Structure 1
Amino acid sequence: MTRHTPTMPAMGRPGVWRRNVVTGLAKSREATLFVVLLALIGATTAAKPEFFNLQNLRDVLLNVSIISLLTAGMTVLMLMRHIDLSVASVVGVSAYAVGSLFLMFPQMPVMVAMLAGIGIGLAAGAINGTLVTYGRVPSLVATLSTLYIVRGADYAWVHGGQINATSLPDAFAQIATGSLFGVPNLVLIALVVLVVLAIYLKQYRGGREHYAIGSNPEAARLAGIRVERRVMIGFLLSGAIAGFAGVLWLARFGTVDASTAKGIELQVVAAAVVGSVAITGGVGTIMGATLGALVLGVINIALVVLRVSPFWQQAIQGALIVVAITLDTVLARSVAKRMMRKRDHG
């Protein structure tokens, strides 16, 4: 009778174990980000115990709410290999425009203010989408141009003026100051929008088409997907979210001027990339992008608590973008090699 030597289980072999770990990280990037987020909170709390308190938690959630909304809109475009750098200027002009409407019509309903902000964002998104889909202008160039055009028009319109919190009705201010079961209204509003977008991308055909376009635009066309239409919808969605975020920004900070939200496009792109949304398209989730925004938000608050110069914030954001892109590339190549080996052996 021939005796067979039992083989070592797959997980017991170091090479297989390492490949499984790499594949696991690539497939559960949200879990990895969550671990990083907990590590950041733990390390900062260990250095400064006063960091972990309800007020800091509230500040992080309020600050991240608006950024996460913009990051979600950016995610929809990045899935299709596009980008929208004009979101910051749209937020600024929307915030000032809605504030001006309140000055003219103090009794204006809050819902009308929100619709006005969304309308401004849709107009900006339509311009960007038209330039990209019909003008064939690269999205980076098109949205960089509209970023400066809208910001310049905003400066010309505002002409050194500003909207003050005292000019806004109390009902509108409740968006930021009010809460439900201890959770700020602003956070709840952002959460609803994020959940709706996540369900759309995962459960509906239109959402899945964004992934298909980003994975292979030509194959998507051959499959019957109307790429130009889907890209236009992506820009309209990003613009509408930016306009809505402008309304929330006004409610959150009260005082706005021509420089409102200047430079936050870097934070939005950084949050998306850190949240494992691939700049090459076809990969990413709303949950991952939101976790990326949370990681950056915690880092910013931690730097303040640790009394680190604010100039380091942008440096850290830039470094995180490089690390995230490098890590994403390494993981993607590792998974691709593993799949090729499986195919060859099969």
Structure 2
Amino acid sequence: MRTNNKSTLSKITESRNFGLVLGLIVLLIVAAIITPSMYSLNSILNMLQNNAVYGLLAIGEMMVIITAGIDISIGATLSLTGVICCRLMAENPGVPGIVWLLLSLVIGALCGAFNGLLVGYFKMVPMIATLGTMYIFRGFSFLFSGGEWWFPHQFTEGYMAFATKKILGIPSILWILIIVFILAILFLGYTSKGRRIYAIGTNQESAQVAGIKQPRVVFLAMTLCGMLAGLSGMLYTANYATCSYMIGDAYEMTAIAICILGGVSIVGGKGKVDGVIIGFLMMSVITYFISLLPGLSVWSDAIQGAIIIAAVALNKFTERSAEKRALKERSALI
């Protein structure tokens, strides 16, 4: 019985998420000491509400990275979707808000499907393909906007309600984020299509031998990623009641940072939603903490870059430690 307890404790402490949770706790303690006002209920809700879009983008990016790909066009997809929804909403104020939510999903899915077509079926390098589509989507965003900005007085109550309306004291954008987290856990962990995404990223040749069609899986992952980016575009504009073609600039970098911080392997095949959730919480605390200290705000990009490098180093260390433990266990059996 004692051996079983020890092995269970070892598994917990050796888990990468244990280190993440420990890091998050330390970060919260340090932030609480320096800025105690940060931990009022309103401050916490505001922090999560203002960073919710990053959580949505990170879940979509995670699915693409697991396939051993990457999508750097999600910020542009967010911009294009936000601009189209805001322009149509301003011109048709009588249309129910749910229409714009559904439209954002469709626009995002089309953008993601285009990426999936290029990468999955035309075999283009993911970074090159999505770099090209990033500029295409940004260009269309500017054309649809005509260089205009949309301001709070142009937004309808029904449109903004999807981000700002409080249900049980929690903004609706956070309820949407929670639902997406749950759906992602169920999809990746308990469906055959979710398992195929992991299989493609782990070993494409073995997956093909097993009858898994790589183009279809990549197409699905990128379409879902685009769909979440589109949803983020609508929710971003609803949350801030403002829009221009410039929104979402470099958001893909933050989403990728959250994924790496959450233990998603940049070479594919590894990563869990719970790790991304912890990474999202850590990034939310860091960005909010930086915003409260004016002296650090100029260092925000540098800090984010350092976080990415540290997270990649931690991932490598964790993988090597796991390989060494596995080798020792096999040696003990010989």
- Scaled to the shorter chain, the TM-score interval is over 0.9
The answer as to whether partners of 1:56 and 1:301 remain within 8 angstroms in 2 is no
- In 2, Cα distance between equivalents of 1:320 and 1:309: 15
Which is greater in Rg? Answer: 1
Superposition deviation, residue 41 in structure 1: 1.5
Q: Which residue pairs with 1:275 in the alignment? A: 262
Further displaced range: 292-301 or 52-61 = 52-61
Of 55, 67, 90, the match for 1:68: 55
Q: Which residue pairs with 2:316 in the alignment? A: 329
Helix, strand or coil at the partner of 2:264:
coil
Q: Which residue pairs with 1:342 in the alignment? A: 329
Q: Which residue pairs with 2:128 in the alignment? A: 141
Q: Which residue pairs with 1:98 in the alignment? A: 85
Matched, 1:79 2:82: no
- Amino acid in the other structure paired with 1:108: V
| Superimposed CA distance per residue, residues 89-144 of structure 1 (whole angstroms, 9 cap, x where no aligned partner) | 01011011001111221111112101111111111111111110122111011111
- Amino acid in the other structure paired with 1:341: K
Of 20, 24, 37, the match for 1:37: 24
Superposition deviation, residue 25 in structure 1: 4.7
Matched, 1:166 2:153: yes
| Superimposed CA distance per residue, residues 129-181 of structure 1 (whole angstroms, 9 cap, x where no aligned partner) | 11101221110111111111211222233232111221111122122221111
Superposition deviation, residue 75 in structure 1: 0.7
Superposition deviation, residue 35 in structure 1: 2.3
- In 2, Cα distance between equivalents of 1:129 and 1:46: 46
Superposition deviation, residue 10 in structure 1: 8.2
Further displaced range: 171-180 or 77-86 = 171-180
Q: Which residue pairs with 1:58 in the alignment? A: 45
The answer as to whether partners of 2:12 and 2:18 remain within 8 angstroms in 1 is no
- In 1, Cα distance between equivalents of 2:154 and 2:328: 65
Aligned Cα RMSD in Å?
Answer: 1.9
- In 1, Cα distance between equivalents of 2:159 and 2:90: 13
- In 2, Cα distance between equivalents of 1:197 and 1:122: 16
Matches within 5 A, 1:237-276: 237-276=224-263
Of 133, 138, 145, the match for 1:151: 138
Further displaced range: 299-308 or 106-115 = 299-308
- Give the TM-score normalised by structure 2: 0.94
- Amino acid in the other structure paired with 1:82: G
Which 4+ runs in 1 deviate beyond 6 A?
Answer: none
Of 162, 178, 185, the match for 2:172: 185
Superposition deviation, residue 294 in structure 1: 1.4
Flag the 1:337–1:124 CA change in 2: closer, same or farther, 3 A: same
The answer as to whether partners of 1:89 and 1:147 remain within 8 angstroms in 2 is yes
- Amino acid in the other structure paired with 2:16: R
Helix, strand or coil at the partner of 1:213:
helix
The answer as to whether partners of 2:97 and 2:159 remain within 8 angstroms in 1 is yes
Q: Which residue pairs with 1:5 in the alignment? A: none
Q: Which residue pairs with 2:294 in the alignment? A: 307
- Give the TM-score normalised by structure 1: 0.91
- In 2, Cα distance between equivalents of 1:69 and 1:42: 26
- In 1, Cα distance between equivalents of 2:144 and 2:38: 41
- In 2, Cα distance between equivalents of 1:226 and 1:160: 42
| Superimposed CA distance per residue, residues 173-222 of structure 1 (whole angstroms, 9 cap, x where no aligned partner) | 12222111111111001111110111111111111111111111111111
- In 1, Cα distance between equivalents of 2:232 and 2:166: 18
The gaps in structure 2 that reach 5 residues or longer are none
Superposition deviation, residue 309 in structure 1: 3.1
Q: Which residue pairs with 1:199 in the alignment? A: 186
Superposition deviation, residue 344 in structure 1: 2.6
- Amino acid in the other structure paired with 1:226: K
Q: Which residue pairs with 1:4 in the alignment? A: none
Superposition deviation, residue 287 in structure 1: 1.7
Of 72, 83, 99, the match for 1:112: 99
Q: Which residue pairs with 1:285 in the alignment? A: 272
The answer as to whether partners of 2:83 and 2:144 remain within 8 angstroms in 1 is no
Helix, strand or coil at the partner of 2:68:
coil
Helix, strand or coil at the partner of 1:308:
helix
